[in-house]
Amino acid sequence: MATNKYALFFILAFSTLSCSSDEGSPAIEPDTPTPYALTIPKHLPQNYTLPADNPLTEEGVELGRHLFYEEKLSGNNTMSCGSCHQQEKAFTDGRALSLGIDGLPSRRSAMSLANMLWFSQLNWDGSALSLEEQARGPIENTVELHENLGSAVAELQAASPYPRMFQKAFGDSIITETNVLKALAQFERTLISADSRYDRYMNNQEQLTKDELEGMKLFLTHPDPSTNTRGGNCGDCHGGTLFSLRTFHNNGLDDTFSDNGLGDVTGLERDKGKFKAPTMRNIALTAPYMHDGRFATLEEVLDHYNDHIKYNSPTLDPLIIEASNEPNGKTLLLTAEEKRKIIAFLHTLTDPTFTTDKRFSDPNK
């Protein structure tokens, strides 16, 4: 009995010491992500929507940056999002049709990622309704990165430094598909382009030339021969300071469609042949042009709108049908000088800060 008493005494004493030791240990604080201070230039839209379940944080954006340039998101670990969205080309790739990991051309041209914060219908055909949703598409597309996202997650889980980065960004070192997509979307929402010569002009920091100013007026004006108002008819689709109204149009490229664009998403006859009007920001860096990259230069683009619209194209945009600078004109009928001035203005939309900003660059270089 005495032996049992001593044994019980030591057990209780040890337990007391153990409890005292635990109570004195500092608690491990969970990682608390730091809110990302997103600065919106005053001349850009001040209204934008962030998903309630994916606020911008310093840690989430930095993780997204690493993932954007991470080749483990491709099936053979040779390509990343940044392969087709290169910063020096305003996050395009200079190809008519992007090439995937097997060297096969994709269906369409890579779009610029500038100012996607304000866009809710993504891709040329509007098939994704959020950046989180859009990010999955190229990863799992068999012609593009050709990777199962679940397999990529397993690779990331086994690779330093990702578990710790996910812990800091989302409070959990267990990597999930959802958090991969959230991080990519956070990074892409920070890709704001707003420091071109045009922007500095808008902020009274720089002057544009006479030709550039006349080109801007032509760009933004819908022609009206009845009032002798000459215009390039560009602003009807590419208006506002985003230089895209974020709408979809058939711009008269084809009489018949090999790619139905928005029509394949909605299933509506009236949407066949319609594609998103992309931003004109950094347009001088993003050749070739159109959803299929058919035009190599801005001059070819202006020639299309001036002389080569397919007026028999079903669903052709009404604002194109009736746009002419001459009474009863059947085409836009800009002069060569007017086209030159519009192109001069388009070059003022190039933002060298955007294409060199270290915050957007490959962290491994």
81 is annotated as contributing to ligand binding: yes
Instruction: Give, as one character, the DSSP assignment of residue 256.
Output: S
Consult the annotation and say whether 19 binds a ligand. Answer: no
85 is in an annotated binding site: yes
DSSP 79-98: --HHHHSBGGGTSB-S-SS-
CA–CA distance, 291 with 303 (Å, rounded to integer) = 17
Check residue 306 and give left, alpha or beta (phi > 0: left; psi -120 to 50: alpha).
alpha
Tokens 């090999």, residue? 258
Q: Is 308 annotated as a binding residue?
A: no
CB distance 281 to 114 below 8 Å: yes
| Among candidate residues 254, 332, 265, the one with its CA nearest the CA of residue 294 | 254
The answer to whether the CB of 147 falls within 8 A of the CB of 73 is yes
Do β-strands 248-249 and 275-276 pair in parallel, antiparallel, or remain unpaired?
antiparallel
Tokens encoding 91: 């996050």
With b meaning 16 or more CB within 10 Å and e meaning fewer, what string describes 244-271?
bebebbbbbbbeebebbbbbebbeeeeb
3-state secondary structure of 284: helix
Hey, what long-range contacts does 126-129 have (CB within 8 A, 24 or more apart)?
126/248, 126/262, 126/265, 126/276, 127/265
Peptide bond before residue 161 is cis, with ω within 30 degrees of 0: yes
List, in sequence order, every residue forming a beta bridge with 1; answer none if it has no partner.
none
Evaluate the CA torsion angle 220, 319, 311, 293 in order and state its sign.
positive
Question: Which of 96, 130, 106 has its CA nearest to residue 116?
Answer: 130
Question: What's the CA dihedral at 69, 72, 78, 79 to 10 degrees?
Answer: -40
Which residues line the annotated binding site?
Answer: 81, 84-85, 234, 237-238
Which residues line the annotated binding site for heme c?
Answer: 81, 84-85, 234, 237-238
